[in-house]
Structure 1
Amino acid sequence: MNRLRKHIKIKSIRNLILIFSIILNISSLYSVNPIPLKEIKEQNLLQPYYHVITGSFKKRSLAYDHINDLKKSGFKKAKILPVSKNGYYRVSAESYSNIILANKSRDNLKKGKYKDAWILKTEFNQKNLNAGKIVNKTQIKTNSNKSISGVDEVIKRVLAKRQNVTGKNETKKKGDERENKVIDSKSDLKTSPEVIIIADQTDTSSENNLSDEPNNSKPKVVNENNVVIINKSEIQQKTNTITELESIDDLNQDSNQQKGRIISGNLKNDQGRPIPGAEVIVLGTSESMITDFDGNFKIRVSEGQQLEISSIGFSRQTIEINDQEVLDVTLKLKSQDDEQEDSARSSKKRRKDNLDKNIFIARKQYDKYDYDLVQQKYLDLINSGKETKESLEYLANSFFNNSEYDRAVIWFNRLISKYPKEISAEIYYRASLSFKSQGSYEISDDLLRKYISLTDNLVIKNYYENNPDYLQKISQNAENYSILKTRINSDGSDFGPSFYGDDKIIFSSTASSTGDDLYEWSGERFLDLFIADMDSDGNLVNPEPLSGDINTEYHESSAVLTKDKKIMYFTRNNYFSGKLGFDKNKQVNLKIYKAESDDGELWGNIEELPFNSDEYSVAHPAISVNEKRLYFSSDMPGSFGYSDIWYVDIFEDDTYSDPINLGPQVNTEFRESFPFISEEGILYFSSDGRIGLGGFDVYLSDLDSRGMPKTSKNLGPPINSRLDDFGFIFSTGRGFGYFSSNRNGIEGSSSDEVYRVEVGDENIIYNRFGDEINANNQFEEPNYNRGFNSIESRSDNFRTNQSLTNNFNNRDCLEMDCSYFCNVSIQGIIRDKNTREILRDVLVSLIDPNGNILYEQLTKKNGSYSFTGEIDCSKTYFIIASKPIGYSDHESKIRIPSTSKEIKKDIYLEWRDNCLPNDLGCLLDINPILFDLDKHYITYRASKELKKILTIMFKHPKINISIESHTDSRGSNSYNEALSDRRAKETKAWLVKRGINGDRILIRGFGEYNLENYCNDNIDCIEDEHQINRRSVFRIL
């Protein structure tokens, strides 16, 4: 408050000094002995400054970025000067009142990285007041080194306001007595008008009279058209007007408003009644006003500008100004569509305002996990041509951290392509996960090998070297699960299920959350805890918010209950007793809280657990079978990576041990989270720090007698997918469980969903005491009232150690599937059905009857594939061959005979959509890329078609294309060949600039040798017919 009062006091004194100076100079006009120019200079109104300029930028955010670099280099007084008349923000490293010091500073800067440093001279003092001169009597020449007087400018603008003088040259009427009248010292001051000579300026910008380049001042000569007559009787009125103005900034604004012309208008509703209080805005300027009680308005505009008129309850209207003098406008009542449009416009404006924030905010928001804003900011910078390694890295990581892998691959691809030797090992690992999530396994493995070469991560290195076919091994070791999406999923995120007694689950959701704001990380609403009813088959219905005091306006998620439903542990933002807690970086972390309930329904008595901290996150609690140990995820000191699995022991007196890390059998250099302990004491958790199927995968680990994990195993498909899979829980007694995933859709969903998981049927083989099963696959147990179990098979081809328990109370027949494993090889060659051409890089999958992918691989250069391993014999399988572009998917049934060791299956793929497989234009329905006559630049219409090519090349990074460009027949052959070559190069450059590796594109220019029609040299054609030939076409190599 004291600082504010001091500021007000200083400003008041400054304004008094300003007013006094103005009055003093005006008084000098009427003095017999006016103040000479020399004396005015001695008053120190003019103080020239010399700014050492190191950069000029079109966007203010980039200027701030440059300032940051300067300050890191020691230039603590670096600043942005007011925008120049050509719209550039100039950055000054240092400012001096002495030209010698300024020159020395500039020379020092030129020796470093600021080679283009130069000096900008401004003629205004620290209070932004222009010094100048008053020319008396017959003096008509200005000082060539000085800008127009600030006091003269004040008088000129006041006169313009009172006498409709706009500052333009006045036209003198022929015969005007005052035209050539000269006032000398003998003239009668009472009867003769005073003459103030005001030099006409070339630069009339209001940006503190900054010149665009150094030393650009030119002598200015005052002529008769620069003379404004001030009647003595008006002086007092002008002085009073000046004192009413608060600052020179107000005068500058007033001057700007003098441009253009005044138009008037009237605003009414559709019933003819005036609309008072409506807002009238000149778009692109600060000009605005409010209609009066009768709906009238007057506003200054220039031709070609647009007026936007709006009022509460009415539809917004935009009017372009041409030669109108009067506007009569009718506004209609707002419809529901208009309200939605206004809401969208308001949202877009808020987003644009955010984008205008400087680069420091983007970096700061990244550190605060505000990825939604980070993405907007860096995309804006890149689209403005300010692409850097840093911007690409921040953008790629923000999409990765937000699990938007389909967009992350675009920016990782561009980053690695442009800066392969300047990026960290971790970037290669994240890029590998991202490409794997999109099904680009070969690229993912290439990036993974690059990561391994740059790091000492032995966990990943040893596993990859020992399991080069890890995808196949993970699929082979997968459990026999089936999955189904639940009915509790909303339009937002739903995840983290946990059992809530015998007939409910508790989970996290953004649906109808308590807080109305959006979470910066993902742009979604904040999370609350919900419960849902669960039937005996695991179906979930009736999701409702949890009762009690747990849900707040911030995040609540990942809860776990004791068996008696008396105690709940849950995750929440660092928010307690109505206050948010922050770490030293102003970041709100996560904490685990404990809540109690008497009836298992209404929760309260919430307390924070003692091992939480403001400086790190603690989240995702899980309880051991005996409820004496609490597992959780945290990035506390001592973690191996970004988050680890830890545990604390719970003592009888409700105190806790110190946290203990589960160690390297579980934790990696990256992220482990969402622990769960099953009824059998098995630890399930999610990780993206191990080689898996992509993103977060679910793993299991048996625990020893001390509760420490043994080796970890990937659950494989269908639990795990290319995207994020986490939050796995399972009840053996119920026969089902749940997990969370963002796999919805081919490319995944930005939001998470809850899935139900069940154990599939197992093949149970029985051979009593070595007797053979009869021809009908039956056996008879004489002692049918006896139960039995642990029946084993002794055949090398049968599964062993499988058990079955059953009580025979009657002569029942027990049906069993007696299929068995056999070692068999399935192989073949993939060809084009029409041309019989061998096809490489075709994805071939072997799928079992339940829809599970057993093996998957790409065909080799010779078009071959081969699956070898243990397969259930006497069953029917499916082979699916897929080549994304050019061919239709092919599905074949294949039955595995029990006697065969090798099966050969060749597959022939058909063309898609009656298009040649290499005709990219036909396959993607791309309109021709046409060029203007004798031009090679890419038109807007052509760029829309090129975006289709760009998308498909990002989505399928193994596709290479050729660009074939053509001309029409006009012009010489040699000229047309060169022109078509330029068109092909320009088309390729458009794609390369947007992140496509140039090695994937072959260009060819055909000149006029391949016309699309008959318009050759001897045929007279219209322009539209000629343009068809000026084209670029695309083919797949």
Structure 2
Amino acid sequence: MKLKNYLVICIAFWASLSFAQQGLQKKADNLFNKFSFVKASEAYRELINKNFNTDYATRQLADCYAYLRNPDSAVVYYKKVITQQNIPVAYYYKYAQSLRGVKNYKASREWMRKFKTLGGVINEKQLSKDANFITSIFNAKQHYFLKDVNFNSKLSDFGAFEHDSKIYFTSTANKGVSIKHLYGWNNQPFLDIYATDKGSDTIIHHKAKVKGDINSTYHDGPLTLSKDGKTMYFCRNNYNKNIGLKKDNKGVSNLKIYKSTLVDDKWINVEELSFNSDDYSVGHPALNNDGTKLYFASDMPGGMGGSDIYYIDLFENGSFGTPVNLGPIVNTDKNELFPFVNSEDVLFFSSDGHLGLGLLDIFGTVSDRENNIVSILNLGIPVNSNKDDFSFFMNNDGLSGYISSNRDDGLGDDDIYAYNRILQLIIEGVVSNSKTNKPINKALVSILDSNKKEIAILESDSTGYYQLNIDRDTDYIIDTKKEGYEDRTLQVTSKNIDDNVYSITADIILNPIANKIKEPEPTIKLDPIYFDYNKYNIRGDSSIELDKIAHLMKNKYPNMVIKIESHTDSRGPASYNLKLSAQRAKSTYEYLISKGIDATRIESHKGYGEEQLINNCDGTIKCTNQQHQLNRRTQFMIIKMK
């Protein structure tokens, strides 16, 4: 095999690794934003081991350990962070707080002084409790930013839940009809459930109420929806249209949870859940990601006081398990309400019993490797205020959602606010030919800091595009190389970039070198083979491709040596996928051996699990079966030809 062909194959192999690392960083950030800190920490450690954007991954990993209430590990990684160039001053504060977590108060005070000297502001109240160091670290910077929505009324609106670009919410607006019933507590109409298209400018009125049998004479809402959007669980007063409003022996009409199904755009078949009671409230339903657990708030006997958060198992036959109290990490002797579970099965809730900023505050939970809740985080300002803040909802992107609050300056009583998180800043651009303006594929783009320390090496894709997460307020150098073109160096800065700007563009134009751009010599291409979901046997179409490879190796290239690399899609546990890919590699290896290929001509056969996806189907977006199929593959690398 000619040396140039060998180099082409090696570069292609390296490029697949670079693409996988970019995908891994995106996956890690997505997990981090969703509070899935254990999984995120594993991904960031892998990036560090692969020396890809190491400084950034180290900072994120330190934060993961802090939020996991592991100050011993947090101190180790924050100590590495503070040696980095041009780091945000907040990391001195985080390091100081983690030192408090390991009770090294002297060193903590020294770093806190350095933080203050560099312009940091210290809130003495945040330093009052050593056990609260993770909340102090989390709130070292503002994570969320709020904006008004256009469907609030002058009365009470809360409980926004987004599904398929439609926003469901609970409101007393009831505009456009004569109001027959008023709630005696606040002289407002009773609550109903509404829906509006996301981004719609339509003023909400009675026609926006969901159609069907959900809205009754009394309170209805808030709600949660199944993943397919066809089942709704919602709150309602203990009311039956045949019996009327039922009250307990104290004269209180308790909340109950009901279930309804969507048929022809109408919510019908309303049924009361079996674990409700006339004697206490069961409300504020929230489903976990796969719909096997229903979380709720209740003041049922045997709790820790006030209203507690519980969950109950949902079985396929429609029956329910026994309510499980989430225990003292979540629940207090006061009120815990409005649970919400995101796509990574992380629980959020409101409480007036935990240390907070006002009345009800919104908290997130942090879980260990066994999914046991080990701590909680106050989401801080501006999610929380000195008033009631509740009904947290997070979209699948982990970056946007809704809260509800009766804080000052709202339109009405309770109001809904949309939130977004500041995205990690990305640098992106297109590498193109200065003569033809056409994109350049597989150009090597090196990102360096101002001290010329390499952060990452990327490769432009077929459209010439490249992308990488970078820090704000930092100077960078971009070196770009491509055979047949002059090298190009750019100076780029992310300083003075507004927080609502999420990307900066650095297009790279390369000058071709005259008479040196040649068509690449032909190379041997060994096509991949594919596997069925959760299978490792060789399919009929795959055996045809393997027979072709065996024919080439025996008859045309008798000295060819290859490597076998097998992969899975992202569905299923990572450990299981690693084992499944190894089985796929083995079955491929054994098939070629059975066709007369000497074992010494297969240098290795190895499985990589879901580590090297060739598309964005990493579990964060919805993908088709065909898209997942592309990842269930075995690839062949040519190591030697002659």
Please state which structure has a larger fraction of its residues in strand. 2
User: TM-score range, shorter-chain basis?
Assistant: 0.3 to 0.5
| TM-score, length-scaled by structure 1 | 0.30
Considering only CA atoms, is the larger Rg found in Structure 1 or Structure 2? 1
Q: TM-score, normalised by structure 2?
A: 0.47
**Which structure's relative contact order is higher, taking Cα pairs within 8 Å and 6+ residues apart?**
2
